[in-house]
Structure 1
Amino acid sequence: MTPPLLLPRLDPPWLVAELGTSLRVLSFAPYRSGFVMAERIVWRELRNADLPVDLAVSDWVTAEMTEAGHTEAVGMLTSRDVTKFQRKETRVESARVAAIATVGLGNAERIGTRTPRDWSFERYGTINIAVQIAEGLTEAAQIEALSIATQARTAAVVGAGLRLPHGPVTGTGTDCIAIAAPKGDTAYAGLHTALGEAIGAAVYQTVAEGAAVWIKENPEMMRNVFGA
């Protein structure tokens, strides 16, 4: 039996996604970004009070990861309740992909603009996505996979129908994506490939479902921020 990918484990304030083995992970996460080897990807739930203005965030993140025993993981930060994660595993032909997303839209943005914020409110969410790919990729293909995941995230957010004064929401100000895969020879992961389709489907579904849950939970913000 083929083992599942990207197995989630809740340990609040942590959400841990186990990769099953050491894989090459590409991300722009606040902890261990870039291309690194890791056996897990983790989310650390936090509140505004955890990150005062004068705090050195990188030092805080490193200390938290160390205390929790996640020094060799890739670490993301979120103000979204980590118990509200979404997970999907997809297969297209021989391509297998799993995605986990936590979705908050309180600090939503429209690409090419910046919305003034009052950061004192405990209302800001973000979108954090982990993706595990079964087949081995070149570095270039893994970068392309990241671009496909980003496109799927954006399509799902636009589909949620939120609007700001400048136009439809396309993401949040602090989104993060991490892509895990074995090192290998697969050189392409674009929209014309089975792998690209599988990545897009997994990420789109997790973000779309997570956005729907968040919207249902936040009727006051929907009225006051998005005019819905």
Structure 2
Amino acid sequence: MQLPRPMRVLSWAPHGAGYTKASQILWREVKNADLTPDFDAEGWLSAQMPPDAVGMLTSRDVGTWGQARAEVDGLRAWCVVTAGLSNAEAVGRRLPYHTADYGTINLGVVLEAGLTEAAQLEAMSIAVQARTAAVMAAGLELATGLATGTGTDCIALACDVGQGRYAGLHTAAGEALGAAVRAAVAQSCKDWMVWRDAELARRAAL
């Protein structure tokens, strides 16, 4: 995901976590067999990353990426997502650990607004809220309740450095950001569920 210019990115990504200046957000696809408990995934990923990037890991086919854009009062937001729900969880109740499947929802989000660090943190809360709302709307039932995300979700949110102090639900920034993220995640979750049903049918036919 090439950013429109170098921007301040906030994330908890395995490469480039926290607040950092970056020009791109990258996804690295891995297979389940790559993610053994003793494998230094963060060190391995960082060794592959260019110096101006924030990097995330996914076992979802990166060719399945989706995106959505939104504009409110001239303020634009853009979200790119890969979504897999094989390790979905319902917040507040963990399922037993298993290694059969990995999945994650990785979001790269650009908000074309100049924000303070505190406002960018508020914007991140809107992105998380929109992601969760979209996952819940997908209706994936688990033994622990309705899925709200996965155990390995990550969001990288880019914006310009500026004096904007607020990015909540009452603001144009929050509305545009929420709309882009919610639409992108909703479609990607639907696509994953179609893929899951086809994959289960394929396995049953073997």
Interval containing the TM-score (normalised by the shorter chain):
over 0.9
TM-superposed CA distance for 1:43, in Å, is 0.4
Indicate whether 1:84 and 2:68 are aligned. Answer: no
Partner residue in 1 for 2:17: 33
Q: Secondary structure at the match of 2:28?
A: strand
Aligned partner of 2:111: which letter? Answer: I
| Larger CA deviation: 93-102 vs 152-161 | 93-102
Indicate whether 1:154 and 2:132 are aligned. Answer: yes
Indicate whether 1:115 and 2:95 are aligned. Answer: yes
Q: Deviations over 1:47-82 (max 9, x none)?
A: 1222222112221112232xxxx2320000001111
Distance 1:192 1:33 in 2: 28
Partner residue in 2 for 1:196: 174
Q: Secondary structure at the match of 2:137?
A: helix
Partner residue in 2 for 1:72: 52
- TM-score, scaled to structure 2: 0.93
Aligned partner of 2:32: which letter? Answer: N
Q: Deviations over 1:28-56 (max 9, x none)?
A: 00001000000000000001222222112
Q: Secondary structure at the match of 2:161?
A: coil
Aligned partner of 1:117: which letter? Answer: Y
TM-superposed CA distance for 1:222, in Å, is 7.6
Partner residue in 2 for 1:98: 78
> RMSD of aligned C-alpha atoms?
1.5
Counting matched residue pairs gives 201
Partner residue in 2 for 1:63: 47
Match 1:51 to one of 26, 32, 35:
35
Distance 2:107 2:134 in 1: 13
TM-superposed CA distance for 1:221, in Å, is 7.5
Structure 1 runs (4+) deviating above 2 angstroms are 220-223
Q: Secondary structure at the match of 1:52?
A: coil
Gaps of 5+ in 1: 1-16, 224-228
Distance 1:206 1:111 in 2: 21
Distance 2:94 2:188 in 1: 23
| Larger CA deviation: 172-181 vs 211-220 | 211-220
Q: Deviations over 1:82-118 (max 9, x none)?
A: 1111111110112211001111000000001111133
The 1:116/1:220 distance shift into structure 2, 3 A limit, reads farther
Identity of paired residues, percent? 50
